[in-house]
């Protein structure tokens, strides 16, 4: 009988292209681990699952790690001892999308706009995009909708006028006729989109193997052609086999990050965006501590 592999439980907002390729290449067997994924509906629910031991690793925004790992001024009202494990991507096409009938940036003034939760990193990035468009961000009404598929649906059914989307949901928005106004690159070319994070107390030896597998899968993703990736993913992850999505994930502007460390300057940028809109801002010491754990 073959030995049962240790299982890493991952909480994610949308399907990870890295894990999808790792599964297609059977890298779990190579690195001696297996994993399960849970689709989370919001950042508070994701970090509550992490806190309660329901997941081992979060695929999340680094801004979320700052919010839940450096203060109790968050929806859980608890400061978690979090550890940044590695960067994942540069935003996967994070962009502001509106209904097609929004014709001028001035129409965002006073509009109802969908976000995960109002104090999330993506919400502040959205406000930064609006500010660059000349919108009075103090007039905007942020509506808590949840994760990206829900936000896309909320724009399509008219619940909100616009939202921020990325990855396959952004591509679905464009395919359905939604209008793109600005991207994360318009705010900064140094924007860090998502990271792997865990509780510091999680000392499972299998985590190291999981990270080694992640690095290998990322390297393979960036090395393989779009056609080769599509052939590998089309059976188990057909939504990710879309050539446009694959080109996005491989792009220098928005795509996957191979072996770079998380840098203080990237977290500082996120802190400065928070500061611009009067939100809680971690100290430089807190940011340095998160980088050291990374």
174-218 residue pLDDT tens:
999 999 999 999 999 989 999 999 999 888 889 999 999 999 999
Based on DSSP, count helices (H) and strands (E) in the chain, helices before strands.
13, 10
Domain boundary among 187, 207, 222: 187
Position 1 scores a pLDDT of: 36
Position 21 scores a pLDDT of: 98
Query: How large a percentage of the chain has pLDDT more than 90?
Result: 85
Predicted TM-score (pTM) of the model is: 0.90
Phi-psi region of 89 (alpha: psi -120 to 50; beta: other; left: phi over 0): beta
Identify whether 1 is part of a domain. no
Domain boundary among 187, 221, 246: 187
**How many independent structural domains does the chain possess?**
2
Give the chain's residues under pLDDT 70: 1-2, 293-294
Identify whether 65 is part of a domain. yes
Judge whether 10 and 57 are in contact, CB under 8 Å. Answer: yes
**Token output for 239:** 């939504």
Q: Chain-centre distance of CA 234, in angstroms?
A: 23
Residues 159 and 287 in one domain: no
Identify whether 2 is part of a domain. no
Q: Tell me: the pLDDT tens digits for 98-130?
A: 999 999 999 999 999 999 888 888 899 999 999
Q: Chain-centre distance of CA 246, in angstroms?
A: 16
Position 294 scores a pLDDT of: 66
Position 112 scores a pLDDT of: 96
CA nearest to 290, candidates 274, 257, 268, 260: 268
CATH number for the domain that contains residue 153? 3.40.190.10
Q: What value does the mean pLDDT of the chain take? A: 94
Residues 182 and 260 in one domain: no
Residues 205 and 259 in one domain: yes
Residues 85 and 197 in one domain: yes
Instruction: Provide the domain limits for residue 33.
Output: 7-91+192-293
Identify whether 30 is part of a domain. yes
């Amino acid at each position: 009988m073959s030995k049962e592999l240790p299982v890493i439980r991952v909480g994610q907002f949308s399907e990870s292209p890295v894990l999808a390729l790792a599964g297609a290449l059977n890298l779990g067997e190579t690195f001696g681990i297996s994993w399960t994924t849970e689709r989370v509906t919001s950042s508070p629910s994701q970090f509550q699952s992490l806190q309660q031991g329901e997941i081992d690793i979060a695929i999340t925004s680094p801004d979320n790690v700052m919010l839940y790992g450096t203060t109790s001024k968050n929806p859980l009202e608890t400061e978690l001892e979090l550890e940044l494990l590695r960067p994942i991507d540069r935003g996967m096409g994070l962009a502001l999308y509106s209904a097609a009938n929004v014709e001028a940036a001035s129409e965002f003034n006073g509009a109802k706009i969908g976000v995960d939760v109002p104090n999330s990193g993506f919400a502040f990035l959205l406000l930064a995009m609006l500010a660059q468009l000349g919108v009075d961000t103090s007039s905007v009404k942020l509506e808590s909708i949840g994760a990206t598929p829900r936000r896309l649906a909320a724009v399509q059914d008219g619940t909100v006028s616009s939202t921020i989307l990325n990855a396959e949901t952004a591509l679905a928005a464009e395919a359905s006729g939604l209008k793109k106004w600005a991207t994360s690159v318009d705010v900064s070319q140094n924007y860090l989109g998502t990271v792997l994070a865990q509780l510091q107390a999680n000392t499972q030896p299998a985590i190291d193997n999981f990270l080694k597998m992640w690095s290998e899968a990322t390297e393979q993703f960036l090395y393989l052609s779009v056609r080769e990736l599509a052939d590998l993913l089309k059976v188990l992850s057909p939504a990710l086999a879309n050539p446009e999505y694959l080109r996005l994930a491989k792009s220098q502007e928005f795509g996957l990050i191979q072996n770079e460390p998380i840098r203080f300057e990237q977290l500082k940028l996120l802190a400065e965006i928070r500061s611009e809109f009067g939100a809680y801002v971690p100290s430089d010491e807190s940011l340095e501590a998160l980088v050291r754990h990374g």
